[in-house]
Amino acid sequence: GAGVSQSPSNKVTEKGKDVELRCDPISGHTALYWYRQSLGQGLEFLIYFQGNSAPDKSGLPSDRFSAERTGGSVSTLTIQRTQQEDSAVYLCASSPDRGDYEQYFGPGTRLTVT
């Protein structure tokens, strides 16, 4: 079946512009996660959605970052007024339910802020 998809696969933007990254989770998965991975670094948790519960936003690095999940499915991560330090691969993952189920990752969006 279809896995997690993300778009765009690559995004180059100028400093100060806003960007939107999209994630389509596996159908039926109630949990959705966003992570950020800088070159050669580990995954940094950003935000977590679980069903209709309030999202866990504890990993968002600043108020320039926001995310929403519409209809319990597709999610968008928005970065406003991008900075060069925002350059990274943004990974989305989904899982059937709780955190101790396997997370299935999308291929990521590589964001480059010039």
Partner 1 sequence: RKEVEQDPGPFNVPEGATVAFNCTYSNSASQSFFWYRQDCRKEPKLLMSVYSSGNEDGRFTAQLNRASQYISLLIRDSKLSDSATYLCVVNAAGNKLTFGGGTRVLVKP
Which residue, 43 or 80, has its beta carbon nearer to partner 1? 43
Give the one residue of 61, 99, 112, 114 binding partner 1; rule: CB under 8 A.
99
Residue in 57, 7, 62, 65 with CA at minimum distance from that of residue 33 = 57
x/- track of binding to partner 1 for residues 21-60 (CB under 8 A) = ----------x-x-x-----xxx-x--x-x-----x-xx-
CB burial class (10 A; 0-12, 13-18, 19+) of residue 49? buried
Judged by CB under 8 A, does residue 94 bind partner 1? no
Shortest Cβ 16–partner 1 spacing (Å): 28
């519409």: which residue's tokens? 70
Q: Given the rule CB under 8 A, which residues bind partner 1?
A: 31, 33, 35, 41-43, 45, 48, 50, 56, 58-59, 91, 98-100, 102-103, 105-108
